[in-house]
Structure 1
Amino acid sequence: MRRSSLLTAIVVSVILGVVITAAAWWLLRQVLGVAAEPPSKADLTRFAFSVTVGIGGVVGLVVAYRRQRDSERGRFAELFGAAAGQLGDADAAVRMAGVYAMAGVADDFAAPGRRQQCIDVLCGYLRLPYEPESGGSHLAVRTETSATDGTTTELKYQLRANDREVRRAVVEVIVAHLRPSAEISWSDRDFDFADAVLEDCDFRDAVFAGERTYFARTVFIGNRATTFESARFVGRYVNFRNAEFKGALTLFRDTEFAPREPRRDEPRGSGVVFTGVRFGSPVSFQRAVFRGTRTSFPNAGFLGPHTTFTEVRFLAAHTDFTATTFGGDETLFDKAEFEGERITFAGTQFFADRTTFENARLGAKSRWRRPGTAEIDFARVEYHGTVSFAGAVIEGRAANFTRGDFFGEISFRGTKFAAREVTFDKPKSWMGVLTDWDEDPSGQPGNIAPALWPPMPPGTTPV
């Protein structure tokens, strides 16, 4: 009806009115028992007049509605164009005014398509090329001269003067509309920050409940903390693929990742994606919660001095840390809980000076309406430095530690191996590993292989 021609809308409205009138007349006669008497000429005249007036009223309402709709569309186009023009101005003060003008347009027009259009413009501004070193500069033009083979080339670059404050205003406006305290919420909309450069951004308490939230290839920089503390990602797709965190500190403390299940008529989503992400700064996921179908960290790099996953709950059906690198001074998974059908650390490199899974719980037993953990995969993992599983509980059907490179101070003392099968066969190396049955081999649990302990690298003669 909104997109049809005016004549079609009028005809459909009149037909609907006639149908409703006929249904009401039938209800009065058949259901309520209203007696029907032969109408007089005066009754017929009044009825015809009423019908004519009714049809005229319907036509008038449809025309008024369409006129109002066209008026709102024209007003939106006018306000949207003015705000977009301000965002493209060379003056930083005008661009900043454009940020708030565009946010005002999004607030005034609640129709999902129009509000999304305004949000896309604000996110698009953050995706424009940005040089942090000149973000606070007053210069509008930069000239570079180079000489090659006697030929002098002069290049002129147009700069957006004082762009740092404008970009900061964009982020602050967006976050203010994503927090539960927002007067007008944008949480149900999509946000695309892919390839953006975000400086000193603060997304604390933000709620992302739209269909898609993209931070793919986003670069986070700044002298202050990049924080998503207590944020909630409850939309359908959450993507941080190949993002880079280069700021002073990165915080995901108390963050909830709970993407909705995909609908039956669409391909299954990939859940929470941190594939290929790089953390060059200290990072904390303390007390974060991961739900959904999949939590993916394959090929990620935690290269800052401190990486913290303490008390994190990995509840997704599949938690994947395949080929992830943990460096720096320490990596902590203390008291973390890993559930779901599959838990994968295959090919991971624990290169931090100190790595701990102390009092962590990896895997879950089968319970009513819950399948439990089918596999915990630590195959081909490299353990260097000090690694401790003290007090950890390993449950589920199978735990695979085969072909691991154990070289350092690796402690399984106090570890409870409750899985049905635990395998340490064919290690690449076996140096500095401590278990509870080293002094008394008869204390080795029967579910741990190989039976001849300690495991020997291939080609090594057992002693």
Structure 2
Amino acid sequence: MLKWRWIAVTAVVVAAVTGALLWLFLAWSGRPDAPVRIDAVKTAFGAGAGAGGVFALWLATRRQRTLELQLAETTRVASVTERDLEERRVTELYTKAVEQLGNDKAPVRLGGLYALERLGQDNPRQRQTIVNVLCAYLRMPFKEPKEGLRGADAVQRPQNNDDYDAPELQVRLAAQELLKIHLQREHPAFWPGMSIDLQRATLVDFRLSGCEVVVADFSHARFVGSVHMRGTTFAEKTGFYGTVFTSLANFDRSVFTEGAYFSWARFEGVARFARTRSEGGMRFHHTNFAAEAVFERSTHEFDFEGATFAVEPDLPHPGTR
């Protein structure tokens, strides 16, 4: 903003210029008659008015620019304030949801899971963090069932609730379901670009079919009940090192883009790898197959160094379909 003293100085200068022009016009006219004097006065005041108009225009432009700068700064401050408030709100919601996961009551823990899921749905930048929390929760130890709760075996041999922590199992099944929903390519709530770390986790009746994962590590995990990862794409090298599969493990039509390690894993049920694809090869060093192993129409190299089979598999030749 211009100070008033500068405006006053400018007004005096314009008046002085007008007076000087008036004197020059009168002096140059050489004729003192009234019409000439009137024309000189008109010309001088017209020039002065023009100079004043130019100054007024410049002043208005400067004021407009100043107002625009003030508005831009106000908008920036408001935006920063709004962003800070939003980040604070997200942090508070996240903290509260995580606290709920540590509650002694299973329904409260379930509420924490769904609060995190809703937070991730509304805030894409928080999704990987929320997936990390879900995985960390599943890595926590608990009293698991001896076998899966789905399928014919569960119907024929119903388990006593004293054998495992039933309320906690329901929370974990919900966490597994949330992972599956947000990793499925065709699901409306798909979260792309996610990575999962489930090392040493105990997973019951695990489902991850039709999903897309960047990095996945299941090393030393224990899968209780059947596992279904049919048609799942693993973008980077995947780890199943030392993993235990207590029942059916179905990886049919899955894509291990950079390969996978199943070394020292143990398959106690049927292991299915039909029509799987991999550009990095599949490593089954010292893997134990206690039941049938199916590898038909797979299109990658296998490495079964030290592996043992209860039933000799019909292995495809590399590159065949």
Q: In which range does the TM-score fall when normalised by the shorter chain? A: 0.7 to 0.9
Deviation above 4 Å: which 4+ runs of structure 1?
A: 134-139
Counterpart residue identity of residue 297, structure 2: E
Q: Which residue of 2 aligns with 1:213?
A: 216
- Residues 138 and 203, structure 2, Cα contact 8 Å, conserved in 1: yes
- What is the correspondence of 1:372-391 to structure 2 with a 5 Å cutoff? none
Q: Which residue of 2 aligns with 1:162?
A: 167
Counterpart residue identity of residue 292, structure 2: H
Tell me if 1:338 matches 2:298: no
CA offsets 1:333-392 (integer angstroms, 9 cap, x no match) = 2xx3414xxxxxxxxxxxxxxxxxxxx69xxxxxxxxxxxxxxxxxxxxxxxxxxxxxxx
Could you tell me how far apart the structure 2 residues matched to 1:239 and 1:43 are?
72
Could you tell me how far apart the structure 1 residues matched to 2:190 and 2:78 are?
30
Q: Which residue of 2 aligns with 1:422?
A: none
Structure with the higher helix share, 1 or 2: 2
- Residues 275 and 296, structure 1, Cα contact 8 Å, conserved in 2: no
Q: Which residue of 2 aligns with 1:295?
A: 281
Any stretches of 5+ residues in structure 1 without a counterpart? 1-37, 140-158, 260-270, 340-359, 362-463
- What is the correspondence of 1:47-196 to structure 2 with a 5 Å cutoff? 47-111=61-125, 114-133=126-145, 162-196=167-201
CA separation of 1:86/1:138 partners in 2, compared to 1, >3 Å: closer, same or farther?
Answer: farther
- What is the correspondence of 1:282-361 to structure 2 with a 5 Å cutoff? 282-291=270-279, 294-314=280-300, 319=301, 321-333=303-315, 336-339=316-319
CA separation of 1:134/1:305 partners in 2, compared to 1, >3 Å: closer, same or farther?
Answer: closer
Q: How many residues were matched structurally?
A: 259
Counterpart residue identity of residue 252, structure 1: F
- Residues 183 and 194, structure 2, Cα contact 8 Å, conserved in 1: no
The answer to which structure, 1 or 2, has the higher relative contact order (CA under 8 A, 6+ apart) is: 2
Any stretches of 5+ residues in structure 2 without a counterpart? 1-50, 148-158
- Residues 202 and 224, structure 2, Cα contact 8 Å, conserved in 1: yes
Could you tell me how far apart the structure 1 residues matched to 2:110 and 2:233 are?
28
1:129: how far off? 0.8
CA offsets 1:288-344 (integer angstroms, 9 cap, x no match) = 1112xx224142414222001010010xxxx451523131123122xx3414xxxxx
- Residues 90 and 160, structure 1, Cα contact 8 Å, conserved in 2: no
Computed over aligned residues only, the root mean square deviation of the Cα atoms, in angstroms, reads 2.6
TM-score normalised by length of structure 2: 0.74
Structure with the higher strand share, 1 or 2: 1
Could you tell me how far apart the structure 1 residues matched to 2:318 and 2:204 are?
33
Counting aligned pairs with the same residue, the percent is 23
Tell me if 1:46 matches 2:60: yes
1:160: how far off? 6.3
Larger radius of gyration: 2
- Residues 305 and 330, structure 1, Cα contact 8 Å, conserved in 2: no
1:134: how far off? 8.6
TM-score normalised by length of structure 1: 0.52
